[in-house]
Chains A and B, each alone.
Chain A
Amino acid sequence: MSRFLRDPLVHFLAAGLLMFGGYMALNPHGSAEDDPSRIVVDRPALLEFLQFRTKAFEPERANALLDAMGPRELDSLIRDYAREEALYREATALGLDKSDYVIKRRLVQTVEFVAGNASAPLTVNDAGLNNYFAAHKDRYAEPATITFTHVFFDAGQGRDVASGRAAKALAAMNGRQVAFADAPGWGDRFAYNLNYVDRPMDAVAGHFGDNFTQQLFALKAEPERWQGPLESAYGFHLVMVTARKDLVFPPLEEIKDRVREDYMADLATERRDELIDDMLKHYEVEVTLDRRGAVKAAAR
């Protein structure tokens, strides 16, 4: 490439977009001209399809890729090819037949759009929404959080010194039942904050480091008791954990709008896929792929 070009930026862009050269080299596959309801899936068809899909026009690699495919992968490749071909045939059946790739894409997208909108407007009932929410609960989970205050013993003057001071203070503070709000003054100045309210793990780790955070989240909430000492990157900490919230799955009522939106979007996709599949039923898909083992699994 470099002999064409002086600009490096042009050069690297060019290297990346060589694939466009493939547009003209590869003609739309018209293997079923005789029988419009028969889609033949053969090796050349899949190779072409695969190269467009991976956006890399390297026939050798595509060959290797095709042969290495597992049965499920191959099945979905054949399915996608057949779907695109069927949609294209539907589109050309509307009388706008051109061999130009631009027109082909336009027609395919038009039919996809028509399929997506042809059905009655989507309505969502509560039962459906409940089922959908139950199936996708993880997507809406709130992370575990913790509420705590801490007393810090700076390791700057030596780790053992800080550790000893922390142990001593622990006994004294629990002995005198020092409250959450009375903690300031017992230890050293901590450069971040003293109180952390409803903080998720990542936020705590950002201020104290992973080691401290793992230990902290293993503690139980005991609002009256100082626990520790826990070691951080900076020293030792006595902590009073007043609240722990495990991973929370918010009730549907609180996030109903969000869930409904996701549900509708998924439904629309599903509906469109069904319609396209119905369309595909008008065609006979014949797989004539020279590839042992996988072919059977792929044919439906």
Chain B
Amino acid sequence: MGSDRTFLYGIAGAMLVSSITGAAFAAEREYSPGVGTDYPKSVYFGDLHLHTRNSPDAYGQGNKELSPADAYKFARGEEVLSSSGVKARLKRPLDFLAVTDHGEFIGAYYRFTAGDPALLESNVGKRWSGFVKEGKPEKLMAEFVTSIETPDSARNKLPEVVARSIWSEVAQTADQYNAPGRFTTFAGYEWTSMTGGNNLHRVILFKDRADAVSKILPFSAQDAIDPEKLWTALEGFEKSAGVEVLSIPHNSNLSNGIFFDEKTLSGGPLTKTYAETRMRWEPIVEVTQIKGDSETHPVLSPTDEFADFERWDSWNIMGRVKTTPEMLPGSYARSALKRGLEFEQKLGANPYKFGMIGSTDDHTALPTTTEDNFFGKFANSEPNAHRSETHMASGKYVDWQLGSSGLAAVWAPENTREALFAAMKRKEVYATSGSRIMVRFFGGWDYARDAVFRDDYVKVGYGKGVPMGGDLTRAPAGKAPVFMMLALKDPDDANLDRIQIVKGWLDKDGKSHEKVYDLALSDGRKVDPKTGKAPPVGSTVDVADASYTNTIGTAELAAVWTDPDFDPAERAFYYGRVIEIPKPRWTAYDAKFFGVKMPPDVPMVVQDRAYTSPIWYTP
């Protein structure tokens, strides 16, 4: 106790001194020009969710050979042969990549076929060999799914020597391809929890090197399917191995409402501890990827004309239970952020105060996100003339529904594990549905109306406010928050249609609301004051030719915006959304390339977009 107190006094003393010296020198120039400019100057684009042959489903679906090493090579720009024999290459390499295979039987199916003796001699291996001898390979297949939904860690335990060797290989391969400053890699895996066919999947991401990461073994859904147990395990990792770790939820759209629920998975009420623990481990959520977009839904946001995007809302992930409207609020990010405000009011802590990223979730080891270079979900949806008709994993969703999405964008001072990981923790990240759209988003109280058009707009952004992921509190008397937003098109992709701010807030009765504001529009369009809507940007897409022109839209949109409806007593969040002009969807490129006719219900045009992490206002 005594030393704690001394420590606190020490901090108080240091703060006093620094505030005095800060004030004394505030008006003076800094001698060293670098002082005060250590803010992020670059945005890095990458994928934090990718599967290889090490995932049982990827392997079973035909990715027999493409390894984590192949994935890293591909992501850093090399040409790789896909599982179905199609040459693949990225037009521009990614800045970072995490290979995150399913933690359940990670690498084991591949090892089993390759004849790993230790695996073959284990109980699991003998059981699998038994299925093979019986001529019932489907039983082997069932093992992965059964093990996820009904955890039985004793029954599914791989020999320690096998599990350790696979996991340390995963971590070592990541280290081998990590090139600080140029290409960053992360070790990771997926915790593939499901219940009743409802998705609760998370990516588990490690910041550290293989020597530390190899000290642990993945805590998988075979150990437990309750996220609260996962968080306890993650805390154990940090304590026992000295690593830093994050959990990134995804595909909330396929959870039938249980991802951002109003109760815990075990049926208890949400508590302050639950909220704090969840946000300790899950500061960001993957809201857009190949299996659909999770920002919002037309039923939840009926007046938002961009709410209907790459929508997967017929069934849960296993196609067992139909999705009904009352499930939707727990399945989408915007409604979850609103729910978060409600719970914060009640509990004093917000369980859903997350930033947003995109990633691919491709199972081909090939993270592709542009419409003209789409390599699908599994080997069967790699480029071929019939992939619009086949079903994903022989389930209910059809492969034309796959989206060529998405990317994680991270604002960081440099492209290293440390810098990227720190940015994720402070939520200075955003999602794109595939294009490399650049977005700056700041909130404060004193930005000048022209601040975003000045050379030093970034310095002002950080100096007088907070970036995406940040907090505003205690509104100065008579002031409303001011937001500075700037978006730049992907230099080799479509122009921009508009930039917007999505606001969510909690009224005096504890009820949450949302509203979308157009901040800037291309082509001189104006918002109609009566309807509050702007006319659509139009389209230059020639579907048959799979082409478009950048003769509409614009390369850059920027605005400084003050919330006209601000009430300092009401909790709120604000996030930026950028919309591109329409361009041909991958289905249109396929139709032209393979000379096939797409079924009439297949969308052929897409408006890619970006979502920033929110900035929250708390009274």
Query: Is A242's beta carbon under 8 Å from chain B?
Result: no
Query: Is A207's beta carbon under 8 Å from chain B?
Result: yes
A21 touching B137 by the CB < 8 A rule? yes
A20 touching B132 by the CB < 8 A rule? yes
A233 touching B137 by the CB < 8 A rule? no
Query: Is A123's beta carbon under 8 Å from chain B?
Result: no
- Tell which of B112-120, B224-232, B260-268, B561-569 binds the partner: B112-120
Query: Is B135's beta carbon under 8 Å from chain A?
Result: yes
- Tell which of B59-67, B159-167, B215-223, B593-601 binds the partner: B59-67
How far, in Å, is B456 (CB) from chain A's closest CB?
Answer: 9
Question: Which B residues lie within 8 Å of A18 (CB)?
Answer: 137
Query: Is B23's beta carbon under 8 Å from chain A?
Result: no
Proximity bits, B310-346, A CB within 8 Å = 1, else 0? 0000000011000000000000000000000000000
Considering the chains assembled together, what is the distance between the CA atoms of A55 and B65 in angstroms? 10
Query: Is B440's beta carbon under 8 Å from chain A?
Result: yes
Q: How big is chain A's contact interface, by range?
A: 35 or more
Query: Is B555's beta carbon under 8 Å from chain A?
Result: yes
Question: Which A residues lie within 8 Å of B556 (CB)?
Answer: 154, 156, 191, 234
In the complex with contacts A24-B133, A233-B489, A206-B141 CB distance below 8 A: no
- Tell which of A3-11, A272-280, A283-291 binds the partner: A3-11
How far, in Å, is B555 (CB) from chain A's closest CB?
Answer: 5
B141 touching A10 by the CB < 8 A rule? yes
Which of A2, A14, A200, A234 is in CB contact (< 8 Å) with B141?
A: A14
Considering the chains assembled together, what is the distance between the CA atoms of A205 and B77 in angstroms? 13
Query: Is A208's beta carbon under 8 Å from chain B?
Result: yes
Question: Which A residues lie within 8 Å of B133 (CB)?
Answer: 23-24
Which of A10, A12, A102, A205 is in CB contact (< 8 Å) with B491?
A: A205
User: Looking at B116, B182, B556, which has the most chain A CB atoms within 10 Å of its CB?
Assistant: B556
Query: Is A64's beta carbon under 8 Å from chain B?
Result: no
Question: Which B residues lie within 8 Å of A19 (CB)?
Answer: 113, 137
Which of B77, B131, B138, B393 is in CB contact (< 8 Å) with A4?
A: B138
Which of A10, A15, A235 is in CB contact (< 8 Å) with B142?
A: A10
> For chain B residues 101-152, which have a beta carbon within 8 Å of chain A?
109, 113, 115-117, 120-121, 125, 128-129, 131-133, 135, 137-138, 140-142, 144-145
A7 touching B77 by the CB < 8 A rule? no
Question: Which B residues lie within 8 Å of A105 (CB)?
Answer: 115-117, 120
Question: Which B residues lie within 8 Å of A184 (CB)?
Answer: 455
Question: Which A residues lie within 8 Å of B558 (CB)?
Answer: 191
Considering the chains assembled together, what is the distance between the CA atoms of A20 and B489 in angstroms? 49
In the complex with contacts A17-B137, A24-B135, A209-B491, A102-B395 CB distance below 8 A: no
Query: Is A249's beta carbon under 8 Å from chain B?
Result: no
Query: Is B438's beta carbon under 8 Å from chain A?
Result: yes
> For chain A residues 215-267, which have a beta carbon within 8 Å of chain B?
232-235
Query: Is A202's beta carbon under 8 Å from chain B?
Result: yes
A193 touching B42 by the CB < 8 A rule? yes
Residue of A nearest to B118 (CB): A106
How far, in Å, is A269 (CB) from chain B's closest CB?
Answer: 16
A12 touching B378 by the CB < 8 A rule? yes
A155 touching B555 by the CB < 8 A rule? yes
Residue of B nearest to A190 (CB): B455
B138 touching A8 by the CB < 8 A rule? no
Query: Is A72's beta carbon under 8 Å from chain B?
Result: no
A233 touching B140 by the CB < 8 A rule? no
> For chain A residues 39-92, which have a beta carbon within 8 Å of chain B?
55
B144 touching A13 by the CB < 8 A rule? yes
Question: Which B residues lie within 8 Å of A5 (CB)?
Answer: 138, 142
Query: Is B274's beta carbon under 8 Å from chain A?
Result: no
B393 touching A9 by the CB < 8 A rule? yes
Which of A16, A20, A24 is in CB contact (< 8 Å) with B61?
A: A16
A23 touching B64 by the CB < 8 A rule? no
In the complex with contacts A8-B396, A24-B133, A207-B491, A14-B555 CB distance below 8 A: no
Question: Which B residues lie within 8 Å of A193 (CB)?
Answer: 41-42
How far, in Å, is A112 (CB) from chain B's closest CB?
Answer: 12
Considering the chains assembled together, what is the distance between the CA atoms of A102 and B318 in angstroms? 35
B486 touching A2 by the CB < 8 A rule? no
In the complex with contacts A12-B393, A105-B117, A155-B555, A17-B60 CB distance below 8 A: yes
In the complex with contacts A16-B60, A189-B453, A11-B393 CB distance below 8 A: yes
Query: Is B492's beta carbon under 8 Å from chain A?
Result: yes
Considering the chains assembled together, what is the distance between the CA atoms of A20 and B394 in angstroms? 20
> For chain B residues 166-213, which have a beta carbon within 8 Å of chain A?
182
B394 touching A11 by the CB < 8 A rule? yes
Question: Which A residues lie within 8 Å of B554 (CB)?
Answer: 156
A15 touching B491 by the CB < 8 A rule? no
B137 touching A9 by the CB < 8 A rule? no
In the complex with contacts A13-B144, A234-B556, A205-B92 CB distance below 8 A: yes
Considering the chains assembled together, what is the distance between the CA atoms of A19 and B440 in angstroms? 51
Considering the chains assembled together, what is the distance between the CA atoms of A2 and B394 in angstroms? 9
Query: Is B233's beta carbon under 8 Å from chain A?
Result: no
Question: Which B residues lie within 8 Å of A156 (CB)?
Answer: 554-556
Considering the chains assembled together, what is the distance between the CA atoms of A44 and B92 in angstroms? 46
Question: Which B residues lie within 8 Å of A55 (CB)?
Answer: 64, 113
Query: Is A147's beta carbon under 8 Å from chain B?
Result: no
B138 touching A1 by the CB < 8 A rule? yes
A8 touching B319 by the CB < 8 A rule? yes
Considering the chains assembled together, what is the distance between the CA atoms of A81 and B59 in angstroms? 25
In the assembled complex, 27 residue pairs joining A and B whose CB atoms fall closer than 8 Å, in A order, are A7-B142, A9-B57, A9-B393, A9-B395, A12-B57, A12-B60, A13-B57, A16-B62, A17-B140, A19-B113, A19-B137, A20-B131, A20-B137, A21-B135, A55-B64, A101-B115, A101-B120, A102-B121, A105-B117, A189-B453, A191-B558, A200-B182, A202-B92, A205-B491, A208-B491, A234-B488, A234-B556
Beyond A2-B394, A20-B140, 4 extra complex contacts between A and B, CB < 8 Å: A20-B131, A105-B116, A189-B453, A202-B93
Binding site for A on B (CB under 8 A): 41-42, 45, 56-57, 59-62, 64, 77, 92-93, 95, 109, 113, 115-117, 120-121, 125, 128-129, 131-133, 135, 137-138, 140-142, 144-145, 182, 318-319, 378, 391, 393-396, 436, 438, 440, 453-455, 457, 486, 488-489, 491-492, 554-556, 558
Binding site for B on A (CB under 8 A): 1-2, 4-5, 7-21, 23-24, 55, 101-102, 105-106, 109, 154-156, 184-185, 189, 191-193, 200, 202, 205-210, 212, 232-235
CB-based closest 5 A-B pairs:
A209-B491, A8-B395, A16-B60, A13-B141, A13-B60
